[in-house]
Amino acid sequence: MIIKKGKIRWINITNPHTEELASLQKEFGFHPIIIEELQDVSARSKVEIHKDYLFVVFQFPIYDPQERVSRKGEIDFLVTKDAVISVHYQPIEPLELIMDKLERDEEYKERLLDGNTAQLFYYITQACLLFVMRQLHHIDEKIEDIRNTLFKDQERTLLEKISYVKRDLLSYHLITQSQIGVFKSLQTLGPEFFGDKTSIYFSDLEGDFLKVAQQCENFKQTVEAFENTNTQLLSIQMNKVMQRFSVLAFLTFPIMVILALFTIDAQGRPLIGYTPYDFWILAGAVVIVVGIMAAIFRKKGWL
């Protein structure tokens, strides 16, 4: 899709075909290696300055609700003095929203395209950063759910919730951290290519990105704190269970000793065989001993 106003053009390409890339190379004179790299997703993000254009590979997280984890999205930008070319390999929500609004809203189109390509590139990238910030909303909701569930005797359920959030945050963190170099390079190379007056655009983009990175780091620390608390609660529960089992085992010890003594076949063995109520007397003695020990343990808070 191509949107144009005056000399400024925005060319947006989804899943580029060989013919489209060949046409771009013919019209703009892009290097063959750059054209070859546009055929598929890049291994890493980067910023390159060439004689007549700027090449930017921008990667950002996109949440996958089915897998419950953030995946890597990518937009490749080729920015000349009169055109911004964006190439991506899957539908990108912020780009679709901008393109749709540009077609419907002339005032919006006037604002975006009534300047230079540095300004247009800024607006597009800023929209992507706002989208990335909104992507953190689902993590915020999950962290709030964990906060509300903590201390409600649902430690095992929380363990699963925390594991999913940690996996998502780790993926999100890895993707965003790899972009730090991109925005630092843009702050240097952008004004070098477009002129010093455009430095404010690239400085603002770096500031917006740092907000995303900081928010991600804050969430990461919060989840780790909740995980430590939940682990301690689980440990306390396990200790209580082990304590109860230990007490129960100790309660059976005197029973076993008493019963073992009365199984000894000795001439001086008392009670057994001397009265028809020997079984009930022995059982009653065992119950009394266990009852006394249970009362003592309960008083001490062991049961």
Q: Residue 153 has what pLDDT?
A: 76
- For 186-200, what is the mean pLDDT? 87
Query: What pLDDT band is residue 267 in, cutting at 50, 70 and 90?
Result: low
**% of the chain residues with pLDDT over 90:** 1
Report whether pLDDT(269) > 70: no
Q: Residue 264 has what pLDDT?
A: 72
Report whether pLDDT(303) > 70: no
Report whether pLDDT(4) > 70: no
Q: In whole angstroms, give the CA distance from residue 219 to residue 2.
A: 39
Give the residue extent of every domain in the chain. 2-236, 238-299
Query: What pLDDT band is residue 98 in, cutting at 50, 70 and 90?
Result: confident
Collapsed DSSP state (helix, strand, coil) of residue 61: strand
For domain 2-236, which architecture applies? 2-Layer Sandwich (3.30)
Task: Name the pTM for this structure.
Answer: 0.72
- For 88-92, what is the mean pLDDT? 84
Type of residue found at 158 = L
Token representation of residue 147: 């906060």
For residue range 124-145, what is the model confidence (pLDDT) as tens digits?
888 888 888 888 888 888 888 8
Query: What pLDDT band is residue 245 in, cutting at 50, 70 and 90?
Result: confident
Report whether pLDDT(181) > 70: yes
Q: In whole angstroms, give the CA distance from residue 251 to residue 249.
A: 5
Give Cβ neighbours of residue 166 (< 8 Å, ≥ 6 apart): 223, 227
User: Taking Cα atoms as reference points, which of 14, 189, 204, 12 lies closest to residue 119?
Assistant: 204
Q: 3-state DSSP: the chain helix, strand, coil percent, rounded to 5?
A: 65, 15, 20
